Amino acid sequence: MNDASVDAFRCYRQLLELPDFVEYFRRATPVAEVEQLPIGSRPSRRSPNGGLSDLRAIPWVFSWTQARCLLPAWFGVGTAMERLLADKDQSILLRQMYQAWPFFKSLIDNAELALAKSDSGIFRHYSTLAEDKPSLVLIADIIAAEYSRACRTVLALTGREELLDSTPWLKESIRVRNRFVDPLNLAQVELLRRSRENAHKHSDNPESEVLRNLCRLSINGIAAGLRTSG
């Protein structure tokens, strides 16, 4: 577990410390719009002009959840488990741990739930908001690869064919809910695109305010549909 923890932490930090990661995060998620919402008892940042390290946990997780990529909950799990699963003896031990150690089972089950609530197709659509630079496309590819890796390793540990096969009612609930939330996500991406393009041309006009209000409504709608802000 110590080895897995080191590998997962290294994987996570490598992503966050990529030179253009902050730009990618701000463009591929609605974090700027979330920061403007009249919610919370404290400002979204500890320092108004600070970077990622000054962003509080709520807007960080909220923004990834809105984009249907619950990255803070699973990124690094796949990399950490893949190396251990490659060893036959370790692989047997990990499966035994999942069956017999409540802490480890809870850890993997929580990652499984976050992966099931994520949607790689929807998040790839958000990534189109940041596809004009090769470095940003690379970040999207890294996230997509780790998502696939995490899904594979979690299924290898649980021995199931699909995520949430052990709780079919929850799996079905997410599937039914997504039919209503997916269109809101697609609408939000288009609203973000128009709002940002309009802001570059006219910082303060009636259309800008309309787009800002619509973006806020889409955030409220997605949070209500997902029944969580992250």
Give 45's pLDDT tier (boundaries 50, 70, 90).
Answer: low
User: For the segment 88-113, what is each residue's pLDDT rounded down to a tens digit?
Assistant: 999 999 999 999 999 999 999 999 99
For residue 174, give the nearest of 116, 224, 109 by alpha carbon: 116
Mean pLDDT over 48-72 rounds to 81
Q: How much is the pLDDT for 228?
A: 82
User: For the segment 182-192, what is each residue's pLDDT rounded down to a tens digit?
Assistant: 999 999 999 99
Query: Looking at residue 119, what DSSP letter applies?
Result: -
Mean pLDDT over 144-172 rounds to 96
Mean pLDDT over 135-160 rounds to 97
Average pLDDT, the chain: 91
Q: How much is the pLDDT for 35?
A: 85
Give 25's pLDDT tier (boundaries 50, 70, 90).
Answer: very high
**Residue 78, C-beta contacts closer than 8 angstroms, at least 6 positions apart:** 146, 147, 148, 149, 150, 151, 152, 153, 154
| Rounded distance between C-alpha atoms, residue 181 and residue 24, angstroms | 23
| Rounded distance between C-alpha atoms, residue 171 and residue 174, angstroms | 5
Domain boundaries, the chain: 2-165
Say how many C-beta atoms besides its own lie within 10 A of residue 167's C-beta: 15
Query: Looking at residue 30, what DSSP letter applies?
Result: -
Which amino acid, one-letter code, is at 75? Answer: F
pLDDT of residue 47 exceeding 80, the answer is: no
pTM of the model: 0.90
